[in-house]
Structure 1
Amino acid sequence: MQCSYFDAGLCRSCTQMGQPYAEQLAVKDTRCRELLDRFGPIDWLPPVASAESGYRNKAKMVVGGTVERPTLGILDGRGQGVDLEGCGILMPGIQDALPTLAAFVTRAGLTPYDVPNRTGEAKYVLVTEAPGGELLVRFVMRSEPMVERIRQHLPWLQERLPRVAVVSVNLLPEHKAVVEGDREIVLTERAALTIRLGEVALHLRPQSFFQTNTAVAEQLYAQAREWVAQAAPASVWDLYCGVGGFALHVAAPGRRVLGIETSADAVASARLSALEAGLTDVHFQVGDATADLSEPDAHRSPDLVIVNPPRRGIGPDLAARLDASGTRTVIYSSCNPVTLAKDLAAMPSFVARRARVLDMFPQTAHLEVITLLERL
């Protein structure tokens, strides 16, 4: 893939841009094997490739420039906006929407936040695209008065972008290096974007997590479902379950599935998905994934545990609890093979049997790797 922004030196976020894609994928696969093979012997499945461009289902665009001529993209070294509306890794529906969203910034008078001077209001425009083209749009603003201004001009945006299903405002009054704050105000009747993956419908609320690459996420869930079916557990826990992607995909008659997640919004979404699908043996609860495995079921550990933690991994506490539990099988989906290796080292009672690299992030060094662990 060629990128004019990369070639011009305007954006270097995609560090592997210009490298042949087959080479990118091979390097990622080799890197994971080097890190994890000592926990084997591992049966490595062929890596899952992605489309080289147009794969990213979410855009995190910094608002820069001026209210009359806003930019949506990144900031340069001086804190000035660099417009990336034509970013080639974004799904086409997001690319098509960005010019209208920039025009909305002007129409609603959302003054871009000036990072060096700490003035202005609009910090980010965050866009997520679902299969089928519907959009979730979030405006990250500095202060609450901007909410009514956005609400006032929302009909204009909905008329010009009818694919917009959910619009919200996230408030981030502090000056700090984060993308969003804690408070979210939904402005549309719908509060969640529906992500349909085959027979599974996930409901994505504004602050919920979903994998960046929808097509590869489908294959990730399919791989987990295959391994779970082969293990045939009576009970499964999905830790860090988010909106329930793994839990809903591995559900089966007679199998008790429990998803645990810290986000109440994500749990509410997952419960709705289970209700719609008629899955009476699939339950979700708000909780800390690192809590003792004796909770909430004090009588037995689950037969199989799925973990899909953030980049920091599950950490030594949860790794030790899994190691000491009665759980026979663990499926670990990781976006950071370095922390995955550290966690596996803290689980000496388990051996890695199978693994597979899935390229969620072409043109970058990032990846997803899913590993099947069995107790010795």
Structure 2
Amino acid sequence: MQCDYFDAGRCRSCTIIRTPYRAQLAAKHERARAALGEGPAWEAPLASAESGFRNKAKMVAGGTVEDPRLGILVPGGGVQDLRECPLHEPALEASLPVLAEFATRARLVPYDVTTRRGELKYVLATVSPDGELLVRFVLRSTESVPRIRKHLGWLTARLPGLRVASVNLHPTHSAVVEGAEEILLTDQAFLPMRIGPVELGLRPQGFFQTSTGIAAALYRTAAAWTADLDYRSAWDLYCGVGGFAMHLARPGTDVIGVEASAEAVAAATASAARSRLAHVRFETADAGAFARDAAQAPDLVVVNPPRRGIGDLTRWLEASGVRHVLYSSCNVDSLAGDLAAMPSLRPVRAQVLDMFPHTEHFETLVLAER
């Protein structure tokens, strides 16, 4: 992939971009095999598009009201504009100049990390498979909210695909991207994310995989690997907006999704209702606490945890009698450690899915059985 920002030394986020993509993919496959061993049947790694695959933009705001920048923070506190980053899906890339123009129109003063002054900290945007948008403005205070509301009609006219817009309030000076309070600006509260036969819903504070194409492949693979398993009950732990849960739903099977984010659970619950999946439900809870408090273990457990892995949940799974565990991970090292802590669950299938081209990161899916 050609990237002028990288060639000019302005952005180094894609650390291995100069490695040919086929070699990147082969190296990730070998890295996963080395970490997990030859026990499972390894499928060929799943390639991504080399550019235009990223469905979300997390842009630091910088510059001035008249000349805003949307990009990444650089040493010294400045911001390198990355509006033409080739990773973004085309509809997302096309929205960024409009969002920068909107910042000028609404007089959103970019936050300066060195002086700790200004209002607009980040612009966060996500595009759906249908080309629709969810846009969030991360602000230090409510000072700019009336002006954003005043000019929102201009923004929706310029971005006809804008379905959800919100303000996130982040008053503290910290490395955390967003705060706890969200102010919805549009009548619609969720962005439909159509993944094959399933329509997921993304709310402003919800989580969705970075690449829609790879996410769809991940869910299809999960459904294919479990199609012949005899399970009457399943848990989707760390379920996010419910992608695995709704792809594993089938007649006669009870599926429960568990997620700490109430926003994600609300979106997943609404998605299941729209899809008339009566035997799929979602709960807001810590995954480990939910498992420990349950009266009975299910037949199948899906885990898709943060990079740190599932921690103490390994002990519960090892002792639980659960017959199959489907583990999706963005960190093969924590995945390997967690599997080692569950020796009764033997990995039988595995695959690398390249969610993050041009970086060392990737997704690994493993099916383990007792």
The 3-state SS of whatever aligns with 1:72 is strand
Q: How many angstroms apart in 1 are the aligned matches of 2:95 and 2:214?
A: 23
Q: How many angstroms apart in 1 are the aligned matches of 2:80 and 2:152?
A: 26
Residue type at the aligned position of 1:359 = D
Structure 2 counterpart of 1:9 = 9
Structure 1 counterpart of 2:308 = 312
Q: How many angstroms apart in 2 are the aligned matches of 1:311 and 1:276?
A: 31
Displacement of 1:313: 0.6
Q: How many angstroms apart in 2 are the aligned matches of 1:13 and 1:61?
A: 13
Structure 2 counterpart of 1:61 = 59
Q: How many angstroms apart in 1 are the aligned matches of 2:7 and 2:202?
A: 35
Q: Could you list the per-position Cα deviations for residues 92-121 of structure 1 after superposition, in whole angstroms to 9, with x for gaps in the alignment?
A: 111111111000010101000000111101
Residue type at the aligned position of 2:303 = V
4+ aligned runs moved over 2 Å, structure 1: 292-296
Match of 1:202 among 194, 200, 203: 200
Tell me if structure 1 keeps the 8 A contact 2:292–2:316.
no
Q: How many angstroms apart in 2 are the aligned matches of 1:342 and 1:314?
A: 10
Q: How many angstroms apart in 1 are the aligned matches of 2:221 and 2:109?
A: 46
Displacement of 1:157: 0.6
Tell me if structure 2 keeps the 8 A contact 1:58–1:90.
yes
The alignment status of 1:237 with 2:235, answered yes or no, reads: yes
The 3-state SS of whatever aligns with 2:347 is strand
Match of 1:331 among 308, 315, 326: 326
Equivalent residue runs for 1:1-376 within 5 Å: 1-37=1-37, 41-291=39-289, 293-296=291-294, 298=295, 300-315=296-311, 317-375=312-370
Displacement of 1:294: 4.7
Q: How many angstroms apart in 2 are the aligned matches of 1:373 and 1:184?
A: 39
The 3-state SS of whatever aligns with 2:154 is helix
Q: Do the aligned partners of residues 200 and 354 (structure 1) sit closer, same or farther apart at CA in structure 2, a change above 3 Å counting?
A: same
Q: How many angstroms apart in 1 are the aligned matches of 2:266 and 2:323?
A: 29
Q: How many angstroms apart in 1 are the aligned matches of 2:291 and 2:273?
A: 26
Unaligned runs of 5+ in 2: none
The 3-state SS of whatever aligns with 2:174 is coil
Q: How many angstroms apart in 1 are the aligned matches of 2:262 and 2:79?
A: 35
Q: Could you list the per-position Cα deviations for residues 219-246 of structure 1 after superposition, in whole angstroms to 9, with x for gaps in the alignment?
A: 1001111122121211100000111000
Q: Do the aligned partners of residues 292 and 140 (structure 1) sit closer, same or farther apart at CA in structure 2, a change above 3 Å counting?
A: closer
Q: How many angstroms apart in 1 are the aligned matches of 2:288 and 2:17?
A: 37
Residue type at the aligned position of 2:354 = D
Unaligned runs of 5+ in 1: none
Tell me if structure 2 keeps the 8 A contact 1:292–1:321.
no
The 3-state SS of whatever aligns with 1:364 is coil
Q: How many angstroms apart in 1 are the aligned matches of 2:225 and 2:293?
A: 25
Residue type at the aligned position of 1:308 = N
Between 355-364 and 277-286, report the one with greater CA deviation: 277-286
Residue type at the aligned position of 1:314 = I
Q: How many angstroms apart in 1 are the aligned matches of 2:142 and 2:155?
A: 20
Q: How many angstroms apart in 2 are the aligned matches of 1:98 and 1:280?
A: 39
Q: How many angstroms apart in 2 are the aligned matches of 1:232 and 1:268?
A: 29
Residue type at the aligned position of 2:196 = G
Residue type at the aligned position of 1:203 = G
Q: How many angstroms apart in 1 are the aligned matches of 2:260 and 2:78?
A: 36
Q: What count of residue pairs does the alignment treat as equivalent?
A: 370
Q: How many angstroms apart in 2 are the aligned matches of 1:294 and 1:15?
A: 41
Tell me if structure 2 keeps the 8 A contact 1:353–1:372.
yes
Residue type at the aligned position of 2:161 = R
Displacement of 1:42: 1.0
Q: How many angstroms apart in 2 are the aligned matches of 1:145 and 1:68?
A: 18
Q: Could you list the per-position Cα deviations for residues 70-111 of structure 1 after superposition, in whole angstroms to 9, with x for gaps in the alignment?
A: 000012211112111100001011111111100001010100
Q: How many angstroms apart in 1 are the aligned matches of 2:20 and 2:52?
A: 16
RMSD value, Cα: 0.9
Q: Could you list the per-position Cα deviations for residues 4-54 of structure 1 after superposition, in whole angstroms to 9, with x for gaps in the alignment?
A: 0000000001101121000000010000000001xx511000111010000
Q: Could you list the per-position Cα deviations for residues 141-177 of structure 1 after superposition, in whole angstroms to 9, with x for gaps in the alignment?
A: 0001222221111111111111111000001100000
Tell me if structure 2 keeps the 8 A contact 1:293–1:325.
no
Identical counterparts, % of pairs:
58
Tell me if structure 2 keeps the 8 A contact 1:50–1:359.
yes
The 3-state SS of whatever aligns with 1:105 is helix
Q: Do the aligned partners of residues 326 and 292 (structure 1) sit closer, same or farther apart at CA in structure 2, a change above 3 Å counting?
A: farther
